[in-house]
A and B are shown apart, each in its own frame.
Chain A
């Protein structure tokens, strides 16, 4: 391939790939690790600040940054050269988490008919349903990426026993606000969707509200602590609180 900087992916070394006719992918790791996640968030912020010519928009996923460019202004090789000095300017894996992060407390029902796969997921992790709920709620989880659907967070990282696979079949539909688990991560669904992740909790969160000026509830870097509540409590929250009972404090 007539590229830019293609190297064998080594941990601790970013790689630039072309992505489509009008994009570049800067990958900081082929596997999820906290340093690669921080590196992606920090590098994207630096690219946004530098706004290289031709870049139309940028985003992050778990360990990579996507740059979409206007192909009438630049191309893969040119943009790759343009961002190389920035990429080489520091050790992105040592970067701090983004500024303006928030700490959220989010009420959630675990198990019951609202979240029918708690027992199954717990069994895969070698835990009882009660232990599983306690484990998930023991410490805040970080928003590692927003993606897939509008405002949808990938939260991590759970303790090692949660390295459980996705199910092979898809659950046809989980509702908005569903909390699902796989591979030491949790996902909170912003829209009703089919999924291969196991549905262990249910929140009343509305992660994407297009009618608001700021329609996206969570940002990468935010931390989320789940607070177990009863089904009745969740229904009350749903009826009385537009943001699903979520309460935020500034982290930095």
Chain B
């Protein structure tokens, strides 16, 4: 069976797929890729099923070798990627030759994804291949790990697309929680007027937010009986800082929640660099469902928006670097892009 070998892996590099739905009653959250949209984009680029597993790189670095030719796609937070020293275009699919070494580093933060033709064939646990670090399923990848590849059924490479705009922060829409109305109106208004940034404290369970000025919270003494919590919930913890729950969050909790970020807007939080401004706005439940449905339709059509990786000569800064005149090329020049 074909496999890839991890040569170097920084912290936060894991195998991820769409997670394990169906175990909430047993206390196990769904988990799976932090940015699910990136998984769908990778599947579209390789023309394969979105349930296949990929490697998630959480603001870290990774280098691998492949003994046999393999198709890959690069999605999520852009990194500098090199195949045997040649730069690779992000948000695109590529063919790696046998023996190739792929090196990836230097994202601005967020979650990057490396997809393989056929997906990763690592063993399933409870119906999924994703590591769930909080539940003790799987672990971070390390140098020397060898990951089997699943059965390759496609051949397309050299495709790209315009990714959904989510790499510069922006507005996060949210709905009310059962506790939203317990927060005084002035505080709810201040929350939606405040500019937040991502705090360094983050993992696959949640992202802490920071802001200038006062924190948030309910009057002391109000106790909330522990009940179901969901990814996107914005908990206000004891120190007044908002904490947005992510895919690997616990299944129940007793902290008051001021809002729940729409799933279709969570990628904008996940992929925001540390410096990006984040704001929140309430929408109604009807608006939220309509937005989710529109996003589900958009995601179902991702494959229709692929384009071949061809560059317009007008956009090329150094035309002479491309062997356009002789017609003699390595055959993959058009897949390369200057750093």
Contact = CB atoms under 8 A, between A and B. Distances in A.
Interface residues of A, number: 49
A180 interface: no
Contact of A61 (B28, B135, B227, B285): B227
Interface in A168-215: 168, 190-191, 208, 210-211, 215
B290 to A, nearest CB: 9
A247 B270 CA distance: 45
Contacts of B22: 57
B284 interface: yes
Given A27-B178, A62-B227, A148 B137 contact: no
B338 interface: no
Contacts of A151: 26-28
B252 interface: yes
A22 B285 CA distance: 9
A208 B136 contact: yes
Given A20-B230, A71-B292, A146-B27, A1 B134 contact: no
B125 A210 contact: yes
A44 B238 CA distance: 32
Interface residues of B, number: 41
B289 A148 contact: no
Interface string B285-308: 110110011001000000000000
Contact of A150 (B28, B238, B260, B284): B28
A117 interface: no
A15 B296 CA distance: 30
Contact of B225 (A32, A58, A75, A208): A32
Interface string B110-151: 000000000000000110000000111100000000000000
Given A20-B230, A71-B293, A146-B27, 11 more contacts: A56-B21, A61-B225, A61-B228, A61-B252, A148-B250, A148-B252, A149-B250, A191-B134, A191-B135, A208-B28, A211-B125
Nearest to A149: B27
B176 A1 contact: yes
A123 interface: no
B164 interface: no
B206 to A, nearest CB: 13
A30 interface: yes
A75 B289 contact: yes
A110 B221 CA distance: 31
B21 to A, nearest CB: 6
A31 B225 contact: yes
B289 A64 contact: no
Contacts of B226: 61-62, 145, 147-148, 154
Interface string A1-28: 1110000000000000111111101010
